[in-house]
């Protein structure tokens, strides 16, 4: 293990490669195009690891991130976020050289794009399959038709298909729940396919969430999967059942700076600027991370009974049984599995592999 003097996001490359391999095989087995979401790792280096598994189409969550990956040779990128017309100059720059797909969910946005874009571009219609964050209500046929009609008004646009993110799967805590959400979402997407396939024989049905893609086996009627979080997984995914704790490929290393045995607490250097502030409700308590023991070669995933109880800007408060708290000393370095690896990786802005190699990543402001 590399020496750590301040909070560092450790990355176990072997676990990460296994996660990629497992999902790539699953996509292949189901005859799906694999378009992994790169918003989780946001790194050129880690992106390259996917190439060995035959990946050449990717998903990102912003145009800036698309630009970052285009700079590393990715030529087929879907921005899985409602198109932001204010960035039309960047869209034009990108679409001049790569295959760029955007998401639309209203005729107004398609019009605004038509007025501003120069180069051919692919458009997916974003469908709300039950998450209710954004996307078109699939039963609103008038809206769907008017969007498709608007798309057909310009030769620059090619309608690519329907895309959804069943993000409500993150609330599932059993395979049954997950299966119900996935089945409902698939039925919605298949209906759309049936309704529009005659008119658009090449339309793509694209689905995305890591829990469904990790756990379930039936993807019939879909053409593409776009999971992202699976590359690292995290404590939330173990709670959902998407992975085992042993599959989590990132772990924060945090020095212990204070002990408060009278209230069974420790303080680590590692706060919301390092972890972000997502939490997970576990048996009625909010947790912000789970403590594991660091080892020579990485970390031991056997449970320690210690967890992150709260976070302020730089402080992490660890809580647990008296004996476990007593066994930790000031100056020890604890491993902490993050609750939400995407946000933790975003905060940290860099990885340190368990072999001691630093890996940089995308920056919102380069």
Contact residues toward a copy of itself (CB under 8 A) are 4-6, 39, 61-64, 81-87, 89-90, 105-106, 108-109, 112, 132-134, 137, 167, 255, 257-260, 262-263, 267, 269, 272-274, 276-278, 312-315, 317, 329-331, 333, 342-343, 346-350, 360, 363-365
Contact yes or no for 138/129 (Cβ under 8 A): yes
Closer to a copy of itself by Cβ: residue 129 or 272? 272
Q: What are the CA-CA distances from residue 267 to residues 260, 281, 282, 328 (Å)?
A: 8, 21, 21, 11
Contact yes or no for 121/101 (Cβ under 8 A): yes
Closer to a copy of itself by Cβ: residue 153 or 197? 153
Write down the least CB distance from residue 261 to a copy of itself, Å. 11
DSSP for residue 296:
S
Closer to a copy of itself by Cβ: residue 76 or 314? 314
Closer to a copy of itself by Cβ: residue 201 or 366? 366
Please give the Cα distance from 213 to 228 (Å, whole number). Answer: 10
Which token pair is 60?
Answer: 């990102």
Closer to a copy of itself by Cβ: residue 13 or 274? 274
Write down the least CB distance from residue 137 to a copy of itself, Å. 7
Write down the least CB distance from residue 154 to a copy of itself, Å. 18
Closer to a copy of itself by Cβ: residue 32 or 95? 95
Which token pair is 42?
Answer: 């946001």
Write down the least CB distance from residue 26 to a copy of itself, Å. 23
Count CB-CB contacts under 10 A for residue 323: 9
User: For residue 293, what are the contacts with CB-CB under 8 A and spacing of at least 6?
Assistant: 299, 300, 302, 304, 334, 335
Write down the least CB distance from residue 263 to a copy of itself, Å. 7
Can you give the C-alpha Rg of the chain in angstroms?
A: 22
Write down the least CB distance from residue 120 to a copy of itself, Å. 22
Please give the Cα distance from 80 to 281 (Å, whole number). Answer: 28
Contact yes or no for 223/205 (Cβ under 8 A): yes
């Amino acid at each position: 293990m590399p020496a750590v003097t301040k909070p560092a996001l450790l990355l176990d490359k072997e676990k990460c490669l296994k996660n990629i391999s497992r999902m790539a095989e699953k996509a292949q087995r189901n005859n799906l195009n694999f378009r992994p979401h790169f918003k989780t790792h946001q790194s050129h280096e880690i992106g390259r690891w996917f190439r060995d598994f035959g990946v050449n189409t990717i998903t990102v969550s912003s145009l800036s991130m698309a630009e970052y990956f285009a700079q590393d040779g990715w030529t087929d990128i879907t921005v899985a976020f409602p198109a932001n017309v204010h960035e039309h100059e960047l869209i034009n720059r990108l679409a001049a050289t790569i295959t760029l797909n955007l998401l639309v969910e209203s005729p107004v946005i398609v019009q605004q794009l038509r007025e501003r874009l120069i180069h051919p571009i692919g458009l997916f219609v974003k469908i709300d399959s039950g998450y209710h964050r954004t996307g078109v209500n699939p039963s609103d046929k008038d809206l769907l038709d008017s969007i498709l009609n608007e798309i057909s008004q310009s030769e620059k646009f090619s309608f690519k298909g329907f895309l959804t993110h069943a993000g409500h799967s993150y609330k599932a805590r059993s395979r049954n729940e997950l299966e119900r959400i996935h089945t409902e979402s698939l039925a919605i997407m298949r209906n759309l396919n049936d309704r529009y396939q005659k008119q658009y024989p090449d339309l793509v049905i694209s689905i995305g969430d890591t829990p469904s893609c990790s756990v379930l086996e039936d993807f019939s009627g879909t053409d593409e999967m776009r999971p992202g979080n699976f590359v690292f997984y995290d404590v939330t995914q173990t709670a959902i059942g998407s992975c085992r704790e042993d599959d989590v490929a990132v772990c924060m290393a945090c020095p212990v700076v204070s002990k408060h045995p009278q209230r069974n607490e420790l303080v680590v250097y590692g706060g919301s600027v390092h972890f972000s502030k997502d939490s997970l409700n576990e048996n009625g308590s909010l947790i912000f991370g789970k403590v594991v023991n660091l080892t020579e070669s990485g970390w031991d995933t056997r449970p320690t009974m210690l967890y992150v109880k709260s976070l302020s800007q730089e402080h992490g408060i660890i809580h647990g049984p008296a004996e476990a708290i007593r066994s930790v000393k000031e100056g020890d370095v604890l491993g902490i599995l993050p609750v939400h690896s995407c946000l933790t990786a975003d905060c940290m802005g860099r990885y340190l592999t368990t072999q001691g190699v630093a890996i940089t990543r995308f920056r919102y402001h380069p």
